[in-house]
Structure 1
Amino acid sequence: MVTIETFRTLALAFPDAVEEPHFEKTSFRIKKKIFASFDEKNNQAVLKLSEIEQSVFCSSSEMIFYPIPNKWGKQGWTIVEIAKVRPEMFEDALQLSYQNVISKKK
Structure 2
Amino acid sequence: MAITKARVRKLALALEGASEVVHVDRPAFRTKRKIFATVPPDAQAVNLMFDPATQEFFCEQAPAMFAPVSGGWGRMGITVCDLKVADEATFLSALKAAHALAKPAPKKAKRTAKRS
TM-score between both structures, scaled by the size of structure 1: 0.89
Aligned to 2:94: 93
Aligned to 1:3: 4
CA-based RMSD = 1.4
Shift of 1:4: 0.9
Find the aligned partners of 1:73 and 1:95 in 2 and give their Cα distance. 19
Considering fraction of residues, name the structure with more helix.
1
Shift of 1:32: 5.1
Considering fraction of residues, name the structure with more strand.
1
Shift of 1:53: 2.0
User: What does the per-residue CA deviation read over 1:9-48, in whole Å, with 9 as the maximum and x for residues that have no partner?
Assistant: 1100112211111112110011151000111315110112
Decide which structure has the larger Cα Rg and report it.
2
| Other structure's SS at 2:64 match | coil
Structure 1 segments unaligned to the other structure (5+ residues): none
Shift of 1:54: 1.1
Quote the sequence identity (%). 28
* Count of aligned residue pairs for this structure pair: 104
TM-score between both structures, scaled by the size of structure 2: 0.82
